[in-house]
Copies of this chain bind each other. A is one copy, B any other.
Amino acid sequence: MRRGVAGAVGLLQDTIRASRVAMFDGGCRQAMLVELRGNVATTIKDIAQLAGVTAATVSKVLNRKDQSISEPTRDRIWALVKELNYTPNSIARSLITRSSRVIGVIVPDILNAYFTELVRACDQAARERGYSTILCNSDSDPQKEAAHLTFLASHGVDGIVLAASDLIPDAQLLDRLRIPLVSMDREVPDLDCLAARIDTDYEQGAFLSARHLIEAGHTRIAFVSGNPLASNTRIRRAGFERAHREAGLPVDAELIECGAFNHRFGLLATRTLLDRTSFSAMSCMSDMLAMGATVALRERGLAVPDDCAVMGFDNIYIAPLLVRPLSTIERRISQAGYLAIGALIDFLDDQTHPRRMVLMEPTVVQRETT
């Protein structure tokens, strides 16, 4: 019975298709080709129609599951794909396959050159394997991080890289999301979706930093690091202390300043330290901190390294380029970014919105290189 019906339907379809193809050959096909070439998202159905097959067949060819598709049909489909610049709609594809080939990367501060490099490396690595990345900046704010996590989940990312941060991630949320996760230099709960942890031996790093300074003869070394409550910092402090212990030196609590890893904190912490006590070297737990520290030292007329040595941590690509505060032409980079996005969204909201043509005026900033 079912066979009978299906057979009839099959025949009917054949008749319909035959007449449709004939119709297209009679001119309509040309019209469609022209229209599609013009633009406007071509779909798999358009290709199918023009090739005289069904969408399923096109899909199979596109996905190379085409053992059962004849050579001529394949060729016809690929030719149309090329001609019409067909690009599959990743959204539809993701919806059904439940995979987007996108990876989310969450960092606490993209302005820290360390994360810039990290993000770039992740992105490159991902692309080499056919994935793309979405970057999220959490500003070390748990709320923002949770929002990003939810965002990434709702956009169906296949995995998430959670990079170093003072934050302890929301374990419940992570557990609920069930998205494969890689943590980098970060304390995370042991979820079953944790694909890997990539950590740096912070204890050893801090130890090396301090020993390097101790070997150079320093006995009073300041220690500047991030959030004092994060394991991130506690571990480094342990390494710092071990170096002292091994050298038979005491650790003076007055020499410790912990807060954040950015250059602003480096500047502030160093000022505080200079006001409070004396030292001949600094062991900074990020290069950004070290950059801030050198600025503070110079402010007070202290020469680096003669009056005070400074060690950083990370070896960001900028480290070897630090030579002198640069005189330059100022551009309002952030303002430009805001303008761009504002203009774009205004346009999205209302396509007739007047176009903006902004010409930003640069100004001179004089520092020490001129």
**Which positions in A face B, CB cutoff 8 Å?**
39-40, 85, 87-92, 94-95, 99-100, 102-103, 110-111, 113-114, 116-126, 129, 131-137, 150-151, 153-156, 158-159, 161, 175-176, 178, 180-182, 184, 194-201, 204-205, 208-209, 212-213, 216, 263, 281, 287, 290-292, 294-295, 298, 304-305, 309-331, 333-348, 351, 355-370
Contact A329 B312 (CB under 8 A): yes
Which of B91, B263, B323 is A94 in contact with, Cβ under 8 Å? B91
Contact B100 A344 (CB under 8 A): no
Known A195-B355, A309-B370, A319-B326; 6 more pairs at CB < 8 Å: A132-B151, A133-B135, A294-B321, A305-B327, A312-B327, A314-B329
Residues of the B chain whose Cβ atoms lie less than 8 Å from the Cβ of A287:
326, 328
Residues of the B chain whose Cβ atoms lie less than 8 Å from the Cβ of A342:
125, 129
Residues of the B chain whose Cβ atoms lie less than 8 Å from the Cβ of A314:
328-329, 331, 333
Contact A322 B321 (CB under 8 A): yes
Residues of the B chain whose Cβ atoms lie less than 8 Å from the Cβ of A345:
103, 126, 129, 131, 159
Nearest CB of chain B from residue A279's CB, rounded to whole Å: 14
Which of B99, B110, B290 is A328 in contact with, Cβ under 8 Å? B290
Nearest CB of chain B from residue A36's CB, rounded to whole Å: 11
Residues of the B chain whose Cβ atoms lie less than 8 Å from the Cβ of A131:
341, 345
Contact B315 A330 (CB under 8 A): yes
Residues of the B chain whose Cβ atoms lie less than 8 Å from the Cβ of A205:
329, 331, 362
> A340 and B196 in contact (CB under 8 A), knowing A320-B325, A328-B319?
yes
Residues of the B chain whose Cβ atoms lie less than 8 Å from the Cβ of A137:
120, 123-124
Q: List 10 A-B contacts (CB under 8 A).
A: A111-B317, A117-B333, A125-B338, A129-B341, A131-B341, A195-B347, A204-B362, A212-B370, A311-B329, A323-B325
> A182 and B344 in contact (CB under 8 A), knowing A87-B153, A369-B294?
yes
Contact B340 A313 (CB under 8 A): no
Query: What's the Cα separation between A103 and B176 when bound, in Å?
Result: 27
- Kindly list the 3 A-B residue pairs having the minimum CB-CB distance in the complex, ordered from nearest: A121-B337, A195-B347, A196-B343
Which of B99, B181, B196, B369 is A304 in contact with, Cβ under 8 Å? B369
Residues of the B chain whose Cβ atoms lie less than 8 Å from the Cβ of A355:
194-196
Which of B175, B313, B340 is A122 in contact with, Cβ under 8 Å? B340
Residues of the B chain whose Cβ atoms lie less than 8 Å from the Cβ of A153:
87
Query: What's the Cα separation between A99 and B351 when bound, in Å?
Result: 14
Chain B: CB-nearest residue to A205? B362
Query: What's the Cα separation between A318 and B321 when bound, in Å?
Result: 11
